[in-house]
Amino acid sequence: MKILVAGEAVVDFFPINLNNQQAFIPKPGGSPFNVAVGLSRLRVPTGFLGKISTDPFGHLLRSYLIENRVDIRYLMEDDRPSSLAFVFLEQGDEPAFQFYGANTADSNLTPADIPDSLYTTIETIHLGSLAMIREPTGSALIKLVKQEYKHRVISFDPNVRPSQIPDRHVYLRKLNDWLRVVDIFKLSQSDASYIFPGHPVEKLANQWLEMGPSLVVVTRGSQGAEAFTKSGTVTVETPKVHVVDSVGAGDAFTAGFLAALFHLRQLKKELLGRIDLEILRRALEFAARAAALTCTKRGADPPWLSELGKP
């Protein structure tokens, strides 16, 4: 195991048309969960740390991780129900989610559940999304990061869901604390707009780089993506594809970016701060292709390395 992904595992109910009526079918999901699967499909030895339920939805999540060869040695079970999310798709808009996650298994990861030490082969930890704002899981993951930050690369994607944030000001204070123990900060344009409405991303990225991260990566959907370092900025375009929906595209981008850095042997704390901009471009282009391919399929279905080729 080289990368450990920590956070929520959610069952997405995806809309389909059935006899001229809208119906929903369950599919494994959740941002960190999707990233773990995406990384494994890109031939990065990956594990998942989190809690899942013992209910049938929990069995679905566990089976999907195993099917995709994600290491589950840090997967825990809880008798609470699984988190659910209903997905609503509107033509031309980003997917909308209705979450049901109060007192669920994935939100009940406690600080006591965090191992005192991790396998020495783990070089990177990725986390973020709803798990960071649901307690006690949020406190457990902060404990994990502070415990491991000096020894491993920390990648963070806030994947902001405004409807799930009870107090924006409290959230922003926590975000500032998180950024001090993060090496790679990846977020979307909509995330940035929620954090600091009306502020240019370039200015925000420079501020964040001063707080701790070595890399700030911003995705802009069909407008491409940018990576910011203290030595320069790299911008890439989004490949043109026929978009079926964009569910899971951001997670596929994250998995693609981390996988590219891994395969290019750049996923090291001592290298990220002085990464060559051409190598960074290759990683961004690989990630953009991964996200674009995901958009050609229904739901969160990240690509395999055989579909993308090497970064």
Mean pLDDT (whole number) for 141-167: 94
The three-class DSSP label of residue 59 is helix
- What's the CA gap between 16 and 64, in Å, rounded? 21
The pLDDT, as a whole number, for residue 298 is 83
- Greatest mean pLDDT among 235-239, 256-260, 267-271: 256-260
Top CATH class of 3-308 equals: alpha beta
- What's the CA gap between 217 and 255, in Å, rounded? 13
122: DSSP letter: -
pLDDT at 299 over 70: yes
The three-class DSSP label of residue 296 is coil
Mean pLDDT (whole number) for 285-306: 93
The pLDDT, as a whole number, for residue 90 is 72
The pLDDT, as a whole number, for residue 20 is 85
The pLDDT, as a whole number, for residue 91 is 59
pTM beyond cutoff 0.85: yes
Report pLDDT digits (tens) over 200-245: 988 999 999 999 999 999 999 889 999 999 999 999 999 999 888 8
Query: Residue 15 — pLDDT band, cuts 50, 70, 90?
Result: confident
300: DSSP letter: S
Percent of the chain with pLDDT over 90: 80
pLDDT at 92 over 60: no
- How many CA atoms lie less than 13 Å away from 161 in the CB half-sphere? 19
Q: Which long-range contacts (CB under 8 A, 24 or more apart) does 303-307 make?
A: 303/38, 303/41, 303/42, 303/252, 304/41, 304/42, 305/41, 305/42, 305/43, 305/259
The CA–CA distances, whole Å, from 197 to 161, 163, 173, 178, 194 equal 15, 16, 16, 20, 6
The residues facing 3 across adjacent strands are 46, 124
Contacts of 30 (CB under 8 A, 6+ apart): 7, 8, 9, 10, 12, 83, 85, 106, 129, 130
CB atoms within 10 A of CB 210: 10
Q: For the chain, which residues make up each domain, given as ranges?
A: 3-308
Reference 118, options 73, 178, 52; nearest CA is 73
In this structure, are residues 11 and 133 in contact, taking their beta carbons and an 8 Å threshold? no
Bigger pLDDT: 142 vs 93 = 142
| Region of 20 on the Ramachandran plot (φ > 0 left; ψ -120 to 50 alpha; else beta) | left
- What's the CA gap between 17 and 194, in Å, rounded? 33
